[in-house]
Amino acid sequence: MSVSGEPSFRESVDLMFKRATALMDLGPGLEEKIRVCNSTYTVRFGVRLRGKIETFVGYRSVHSEHMEPVKGGIRYSLGVNQDEVEALAALMTYKCALVETPFGGSKGGLCIDPRKWDEHELEQITRRFAYELIKRDLINPAQNVPAPDMGTGEREMAWIADQYARMNTTDINAKACVTGKPPHAGGIQGRVEATGRGVQYALREFFRYPEDAAKAGLSGDLDGKRVVVQGLGNVGYHAAKFISEEDGAKIIAVIERDGAIVNDAGLDIEDLRQWMNRHDGLIAAYPHGTHLADGAAALELACDILIPAAMEGVIHLGNAANIKAPLIIEAANGPITFGADEILRKKGCVIIPDMYANAGGVTVSYFEWVKNLSHIRFGRMQRRAEEGRSRLLVEELERLSSAQNLGWQLTPDFKKKFLQGSDELALVRSGLDDTMRTAYQAMREIWHGRADVNDLRVAAYIVSISRVAKTYQSKGL
C-alpha cells in the first residue's frame, strides 16, 4: 500500500516513538529497552484439508512484558508478516499504558485468506494454531491473552478458549485465556461493538473542547459533520453506525475492498452493512449511492472527519498531500505512515492517534478478563439493590407531593430511566466512556501544556512511554 521509499510499518512505529523520546529524559538504555520487541515466535504447521496437507505460517510477538499478561489481537490476513505483527505488538504496549489496562503488549497473526476456507476448515486451522501457541504459554490467562483483530471475531475466540480448556482441564481461570468471546462462551456484553464505540466516545470527548476542535478548524459537536469511513468491518461499521444514528454525523462515503460508495446526503450504515452481508461483503452494486471503482480516491474527498478503519499504510507519501479532511481519527492501527503524518501535520490536520482511538477494544477486553477471573457477571450483585434505592426515593417524592398537595408529577420517561439499575452492558459502556475520557485528558494535558508538543500522537506516546518507564524503574531496571 505504501509507495517506495517509506519505512516499513514497524519502522514507522519506531520513528513515531523516537519523535516522542527525543522530548523526554529517559535514563540511558531505557529508551532502547522499551522500544524493542522482546520476542517473536514463528510457527509453521500443517493441517490436512481437502485431501492434502496445507502448511500455514503464524506469529505471536511479545513486545513488552513490563506487565503480565501481555495482550493483543490475532489477525487473519494474507498480508500478515513478522514486521507487521511486531509493529502491532508495540502499539499494544503503548495503547495499554495509555488507557491504563494492566497489560504488556503482544500481537499474533496467521497468513491466511479466511474467505478461502469454510467454517469447519477454519475451526481446524484455528485450533491447530491455538494448540501451537498454548503449549508454549503464548496463550495463557496469566501470561498472554489474545483477542480478535482483522479477519477474526467471536467465533475464532470461542474455538481458542475451548482448545485451551481441553489442554488445561483443571485451570479454573481457563476462560480468561482469550477475550472477545461470545457472551454464551464467557464473553462480555458490548465487546463486539467496543472498538467502534470507543471511536465514538473519543470523538465526543474531542468535541467537548471547543479549542481542540478549533485546531482542526471545526466547531460544535458531531451533529451534521461530514464523515468518510474506510472499512466497514467490525470497527468501521460500529463507529459509523453509532456516530450517524446517535450523534447526527453524516457518512458521505464508505470505502471497501471493491471501491467506494458515495452519497452526499448521507448513507444508511445499517442498510449498507446488511447489503454487504447479502452480497459476499461487496458494496459495488449498492443502489443508494454512486460507486467509485478507485476506492482509495475517496480518502481525498472533502469532508470534516476521515475515519480510516481498515488497515495500515493507507495514507502515505503518495496521497497525504491530497487529503482534505481537517480531522482524522485512526480507527485502524497504523493507517498513516510516518512520512504522511508529517505532511498532514504541516497542513494543520489534527490526527487522533490509533493507540488512543481504537483502544476501546482492549479496554472492554480488560473488563472481560476481569469478569472471567472473578467468575461473576458485572452488575449481578448490585443491580437490584440500586433499583430498590431509586424506587425508595421516587416513592418518597411522590408521597411528599401528594401529602403537601404539590401536584408534582415525575415524567414516565424519567421514572423508567431512574428506576433502571445498571446491567452489564450499561456498566461496560460507562467504564469504556470513562476510560476514553480520562485517556484523552491525559493526552491533551501534554498537548496543551508543553510548548514542544504540537500534536496528539507525540502527546499519547509521551504519556504511555512515561508510564511504561515508571514500571521498569520500579522494578529496579
Q: Which residues bind ligand NAD (CB under 6 A)?
A: 148-151, 195, 230-236, 255-257, 281, 295, 309-311, 331-333, 358, 361
In angstroms, rounded to a whole number, what is the distance separating the alpha carbons of residues 421 and 141? 31
Within 10 angstroms of residue 253's Cβ, the number of other Cβ atoms is: 25
Q: Shortest gap between Cβ of 351 and ligand NAD (angstroms)?
A: 15
Q: 326 near 350, Cβ under 8 Å?
A: yes
Q: Shortest gap between Cβ of 462 and ligand NAD (angstroms)?
A: 21
Within 10 angstroms of residue 51's Cβ, the number of other Cβ atoms is: 5
Q: Shortest gap between Cβ of 191 and ligand NAD (angstroms)?
A: 8
The 3-state DSSP class for residue 44 equals strand
Question: What residues are labeled active site?
Answer: 107
Radius of gyration for the chain, computed over Cα atoms and rounded to the nearest angstrom: 23
Complex with ligand NAD: residue 156 or 424, whichever CB lies closer: 156
224: Cα within 13 Å, side-chain hemisphere: 4
Q: Shortest gap between Cβ of 85 and ligand NAD (angstroms)?
A: 11
Side by side, the strands of the sheet bearing 350-352 are 290-292, 259-262, 250-256, 226-230, 305-308, 327-329, 350-352
Complex with ligand NAD: residue 174 or 332, whichever CB lies closer: 332
Complex with ligand NAD: residue 134 or 309, whichever CB lies closer: 309
In angstroms, rounded to a whole number, what is the distance separating the alpha carbons of residues 155 and 140? 18
Q: Shortest gap between Cβ of 200 and ligand NAD (angstroms)?
A: 14
- Dihedral angle at the C-alpha atoms of 109, 113, 119, 121, nearest 10 degrees? -80
Complex with ligand NAD: residue 311 or 465, whichever CB lies closer: 311
The sign one gets for the Cα dihedral 110, 59, 3, 330 is positive
Q: Shortest gap between Cβ of 157 and ligand NAD (angstroms)?
A: 11
Complex with ligand NAD: residue 259 or 383, whichever CB lies closer: 259
Least Cα distance to 418 among 379, 392, 399 occurs for 392
In angstroms, rounded to a whole number, what is the distance separating the alpha carbons of residues 15 and 92? 16
* Distances 211 to 83, 219, 445, 449 between C-alpha atoms, Å: 38, 9, 13, 13
| Residue 4 DSSP label | T
In angstroms, rounded to a whole number, what is the distance separating the alpha carbons of residues 369 and 387? 27
Complex with ligand NAD: residue 150 or 203, whichever CB lies closer: 150
Where is 181: in which H helix or E strand?
none
Strand segments, DSSP code E, in 340-458 are 350-352
Complex with ligand NAD: residue 244 or 358, whichever CB lies closer: 358
Q: Shortest gap between Cβ of 374 and ligand NAD (angstroms)?
A: 22
Strand segments, DSSP code E, in 232-314 are 250-256, 259-262, 290-292, 305-308
Q: Which residue is nearest to ligand NAD (CB)?
A: 233
Q: Shortest gap between Cβ of 25 and ligand NAD (angstroms)?
A: 31
In angstroms, rounded to a whole number, what is the distance separating the alpha carbons of residues 467 and 100? 9
C-alpha cell at 404: 403537601
Complex with ligand NAD: residue 198 or 339, whichever CB lies closer: 198
